[in-house]
Structure 1
């Protein structure tokens, strides 16, 4: 596509962008042009517009302020409502329900069955319904199920509510990641995902503090001991979900807090990174759907996330139990409080690695940096019987593990083109991750206590595999990008309609993998 240089003055901030394209005239607004069913890249994937950095920075700060606090708070209580069963166990959950042997592991596993099965369907439903409605509705529903958990009396009832909880929580992690991908550039996305994924380790810390505070109460209505944890936290979740119906903005076009020019800028800057894209939000298309699921980068990253999630979810469910083996003579409240510090340190790295990723516009270096920390922690668990050494190991494990949630979802999002493929890729990644979560429920078994050699050995193996697979994936992406650079783009795309070119998605030779 031939281009000629023309300076264009945008309406946004008087001078939001300058561009060059053959049918742009002096004074035209390239943001609006890019929003009228036109592509913002040429057929080689080069952006047609040069954006004003200050205007983009102002827009980014505005989006951060309006979007991130809501989704972060919702995900905090999503993770609390999933993992508070670990805190409830310390307060007598398994004793009151007469759980013996591996019954507790069965209750945990049932959650992941529905969580895995409904992962991709829920994310497609999120796209169809719109995140601004789907995410608050899901929050209210899983909050109600958390309340219901306070009234279970048998193993069968506990399994039933955990299964339904898995259905309603299935769309939250991928749904929020997909939602933010509607707003942020690829370099910005990992850090923004981290600002809500960090709620997972903070949920471990805050959940322990909140559970400790709740357990000091004599009762909450008819609820006592561990039942109070589910009841009170479930009510808080429902209230937050109802508030979110009024605070969440579905997409830039519907944002009342953006001016028309800012909306155009928000749309155009996304399209400028997506080769051959004429619309940011496309209709669900089966070809693009399968492009997202079966992208080599999606599948490889998803398997890495599966391995990593064995550690993340295992830590969430069993950290209180591990602490109890280290401090067996402490009170229940003291044991709950000892679970907090490792999560705080883990939360720091959950933000630190993606922040560096944003500044460097790279994700793969941090895929390599995290696993050695986890490996060191599990070697400490296996090699030492000292309680303080093992407690120190939990800090290293949390530091290396939790950042993968943001990095993996950003990585699969950045390595497809269309909105449909992005929704499917994120759903696939989280689905694989939750298979890892299911495995984690059987990694720390009762007969293996108190040293848990099987669980710690498994996690040492999975973190080692994360390191190996990350290195291989990075090498393959670099090799394939060089191969694409040698391809004659014009020859491959010759005779294809614009729609056919868009359906190629990452198979378009002009597309480059983004490590």
Structure 2
């Protein structure tokens, strides 16, 4: 369903000549003037705060539950899952890999379905699906049943990150998006913290019928997910136009402030075209950023699935409950650092420099893992990677969104970035192997190499953007657009001669 085309700014009529210039996107400066006109309104901060309170809490809770339901298998493993199901060798790694196979295959198709159906309906329905899969995992009897449910879980969770990032891009400006993305992406680090806390509490509860120990983790967390998502199905607002909690003037302002930053664009939600779809997945920024996200996901998902196991090898004399609790502090630090860095990104309207800054934390941490066998030093090393790895989720997706113009291109570009990144999750499932315990030199060495490569790519992309923008500044925008229709100009997306990449 399309949004109404905007013809006002802050409630005032836009002159026909201005609308024509915006439709053709003749210069960057005209687009920036419109952006300044919208942002200069005193009504905008009030509107942004209203959107924050109505949209962000539910989106954050949804992603928190998503990551808990994905990663709780790590807590269940420590609590006896492998023993009860008769698993051995590399079967645990195999069931983790199966999740990512379906996750990768369904990433882009489901995110395009999200645009077609509308995220306000699509996101909660997918969440109910993965909640049911989590409940079902409590009743598995063998390895094959566990693999089947992990495959289904991957399908329902596949669109969660790109769909939520795309959804928020309907509501927020480029500079605002990183911090808002961080508010739900920190759910990944909170999920690690809450996952350990919940597991330690749940494991103390008496069983329910035939369900006991690790099975209770899946049952309780799955039931909570389903209950919350039925609430989301009734309350998650699909788009500004359908927000009953906004006035008509606020709905107009909400659309105008988003379109004001998109050169050659006059509407928030555009018609799908193949050219705009391809623009999203062929953008040099999207391709490079997706590789950075892939490499970072090797670290993030390796940590989520194997941190309980790593802690267990560092402190083998501790009880299972204590080992679960020791996974909480690193995630808590990761949450705080993610918020700090993403808040600075919002205020500075910068992302590229932060993509460079995060990697050295992990490079130092994994060097420590490889250099020593001292338990307390190795545990201290788990605190360094989390200082940057969770913030990458917000930075990479907002960076891609900031460097694409149309709604369609952003939908496909974000989905492409997340799809490629999940190969990192697939790789991570084979990073920490049983024969490599307790030092896990392969896994820690792989993470060191991945984060070092991120640093090189981020530096290279940063300077490529600066060089490319200097070349674009010399182009004759009016001459290159001469003879093109409005639709053809909109299909250009980032190829538009007046477009500038954002660092």
1:152 maps to what in 2?
140
Query: Are the aligned partners of 1:38 and 1:279 in contact in 2 as well (CA < 8 Å)?
Result: no
CA-CA distance at 1:38 after TM superposition: 9.0
Given the superposition, is the C-alpha separation of residues 492 and 376 from structure 1 closer, same or farther in structure 2, using an over 3 Å criterion?
same
**1:332 partnered with 2:320:** yes
Q: Which runs of 5+ in 2 are unaligned?
A: 1-7
CA-CA distance at 1:22 after TM superposition: 5.5
Among 215, 238, 247, which residue is 1:227 paired with?
Answer: 215
What is the distance in 2 between the residues matched to 1:425 and 1:9? 28
Among 497, 505, 514, which residue is 2:485 paired with?
Answer: 497
2:499 maps to what in 1?
511
Give per-residue Cα distances to partners, 1:333-390, cap 9 Å, x unaligned: 1100000000000111111111111001000111011000000000000001111111
What is the distance in 2 between the residues matched to 1:362 and 1:498? 30
What is the distance in 2 between the residues matched to 1:304 and 1:95? 37
Query: Are the aligned partners of 1:41 and 1:272 in contact in 2 as well (CA < 8 Å)?
Result: no
Among 142, 147, 158, which residue is 2:130 paired with?
Answer: 142
CA-CA distance at 1:221 after TM superposition: 3.6
Give per-residue Cα distances to partners, 1:29-77, cap 9 Å, x unaligned: xxxxx7xx99478421323531234211111000000000001001101
1:43 maps to what in 2?
26
CA-CA distance at 1:173 after TM superposition: 0.7
**1:239 partnered with 2:227:** yes
Among 464, 473, 488, which residue is 1:476 paired with?
Answer: 464
**1:378 partnered with 2:366:** yes
Given the superposition, is the C-alpha separation of residues 42 and 505 from structure 1 closer, same or farther in structure 2, using an over 3 Å criterion?
closer
Query: Are the aligned partners of 2:370 and 2:444 in contact in 1 as well (CA < 8 Å)?
Result: yes
Query: Are the aligned partners of 1:39 and 1:279 in contact in 2 as well (CA < 8 Å)?
Result: no
2:149 maps to what in 1?
161
Among 193, 198, 211, which residue is 2:186 paired with?
Answer: 198
Give per-residue Cα distances to partners, 1:454-488, cap 9 Å, x unaligned: 11001000000000000000110111100100000
Among 438, 447, 450, which residue is 2:435 paired with?
Answer: 447
Give per-residue Cα distances to partners, 1:397-445, cap 9 Å, x unaligned: 1112110000000001110100000000100111111110000000000
Query: Are the aligned partners of 1:40 and 1:272 in contact in 2 as well (CA < 8 Å)?
Result: no
CA-CA distance at 1:283 after TM superposition: 2.0
What is the distance in 1 between the residues matched to 2:264 and 2:357? 34
**1:283 partnered with 2:271:** yes
**1:174 partnered with 2:162:** yes
2:97 maps to what in 1?
109
Aligned residues: 491
CA-CA distance at 1:10 after TM superposition: 4.3
What is the distance in 1 between the residues matched to 2:80 and 2:59? 32
2:332 maps to what in 1?
344
Query: Are the aligned partners of 2:10 and 2:253 in contact in 1 as well (CA < 8 Å)?
Result: no
Given the superposition, is the C-alpha separation of residues 445 and 509 from structure 1 closer, same or farther in structure 2, using an over 3 Å criterion?
same
Q: Which runs of 5+ in 1 are unaligned?
A: 1-7, 12-16, 25-33
Give per-residue Cα distances to partners, 1:283-314, cap 9 Å, x unaligned: 22111001000100000000000001000000
What is the distance in 2 between the residues matched to 1:254 and 1:446? 52
SS of residue matched to 1:396? coil
What is the distance in 1 between the residues matched to 2:338 and 2:134? 27
2:282 maps to what in 1?
294
1:5 maps to what in 2?
none
What is the distance in 1 between the residues matched to 2:24 and 2:347? 23
1:420 maps to what in 2?
408
Among 233, 257, 272, which residue is 1:269 paired with?
Answer: 257
SS of residue matched to 2:399? helix
**1:260 partnered with 2:248:** yes
What is the distance in 2 between the residues matched to 1:504 and 1:374? 38
Question: Matches of residues 52-63 of structure 1 in structure 2 within 5 Å?
Answer: 52-63=40-51
What is the distance in 1 between the residues matched to 2:41 and 2:193? 37
CA-CA distance at 1:99 after TM superposition: 1.1
SS of residue matched to 1:487? coil
What is the distance in 2 between the residues matched to 1:311 and 1:449? 17
Select the structure with the greater relative contact order (CA < 8 A; seq sep ≥ 6): 2
Give per-residue Cα distances to partners, 1:97-142, cap 9 Å, x unaligned: 1111111000100000000010011110110110000000001010
What is the distance in 1 between the residues matched to 2:9 and 2:392? 41
Question: TM-score, normalization: structure 2?
Answer: 0.95
Query: Are the aligned partners of 1:123 and 1:175 in contact in 2 as well (CA < 8 Å)?
Result: yes
Given the superposition, is the C-alpha separation of residues 41 and 499 from structure 1 closer, same or farther in structure 2, using an over 3 Å criterion?
closer
Give per-residue Cα distances to partners, 1:13-32, cap 9 Å, x unaligned: xxxx7x874558xxxxxxxx
Among 393, 396, 399, which residue is 2:387 paired with?
Answer: 399
Runs of at least 4 residues off by over 6 Å: none
Aligned-residue RMSD, C-alpha: 1.5
